[in-house]
A and B are shown apart, each in its own frame.
Chain A
Amino acid sequence: MSAEPHYTLYHPRWYRRRVSVWWWLQNRSYTGFVLRELTSVFVAFFAVVYLWQLRALAQGPEAYGQFLARLKTPLLLALDTVAFLFVLFHAITWFNLAPKAMVVRLRGKRVPDWVIVGLNYAAWLVLSGAVAFVLLRG
């Protein structure tokens, strides 16, 4: 159906609208979706920051000190703030959508969605607490 036939009484010329490059601005859901997808950029950004920290740690205390100083610059503080907001957005949308992909059945009955979501948030809290404990006890 790639060649457009001439209009005839028995095969009319169909109309196909071309999808605009700005399709994702057409409604709030689509825009929210693209923002959600763009969180991956900030996820990658922070992975790279952590890789950078690892490299600084491997190079010695001066390098680590330089790394810490760089993190205090306004540019990196701004980037980290924005990244933090996007990573939060990623986490919340990820947990809320988890039950769609993960259907758990116990004794024949489906575990309700809110239980799966709740378990995810609980794991989030527990793991965050554990990480904070390890990093803050010195």
Chain B
Amino acid sequence: MVGRITPLLWLLFSAGGTVAALLFPIHLLLTGLAFPLGWLEPPTYESLHRLLTHPVIRLYLFVLISLPLFHWAHRFRYTLYDGLQLKHLTELIAVLCYGAALLGTAMTAYLLWNIG
């Protein structure tokens, strides 16, 4: 079944990889290193909440989180299949990977929809 939607999964992988390549370095640098280490002032709770009221920002965040998750799912599935030669588990691996990505996407959508 997964085989029939492979082109779609590849498109999601490509889109996610592009989003991750273009946007993750700066987000990671700021949120993961610059803010915690005090190099730069992190945005306040209020300013972030103000940003989140814009539907464009919510859409941006949805894309920012969900597409890279699908990128990981597709790539990691093949890494396990080829790298560890887990051919007999191929169906299970596919379900777990894409399932996890779907779960993350659903959680993101739920949070963004309901955020005050």
State if A and B touch, Cβ cutoff 8 Å: yes
Q: Are A44 and B43 in contact (CB under 8 A)?
A: no
Task: Answer yes or no: A57 CB below 8 A from chain B CBs.
Answer: yes
In angstroms, Cα B28 to Cα A47, docked, is: 10
In the complex, are the beta carbons of B79 and A40 less than 8 A apart?
A: yes
A57, B115: Cβ atoms closer than 8 Å: yes
Provide the main secondary structure of the chain B interface: helix
In this complex, the interface size class of chain A, counting residues with CB under 8 Å from chain B, is 35 or more
Rounded to whole angstroms, the CA-CA distance of A48 and B27 in the bound complex is 13
Interface string of B61-84 (1 = CB under 8 A from A): 100111011011101101100011
Interfacial chain A residues near B114, Cβ < 8 Å: 58
Question: A131, B28: Cβ atoms under 8 Å?
Answer: no
Say whether B32 contacts A94, CB under 8 Å: no
Q: Which residues 51-107 in B have Cβ within 8 Å of A in the complex? A: 51-52, 61, 64-66, 68-69, 71-73, 75-76, 78-79, 83-85, 104, 107
Which residues of chain A (27-69) have a CB below 8 Å from chain B? 34, 37-38, 40-41, 43-44, 46-51, 53-55, 57-58, 61, 64-65, 68
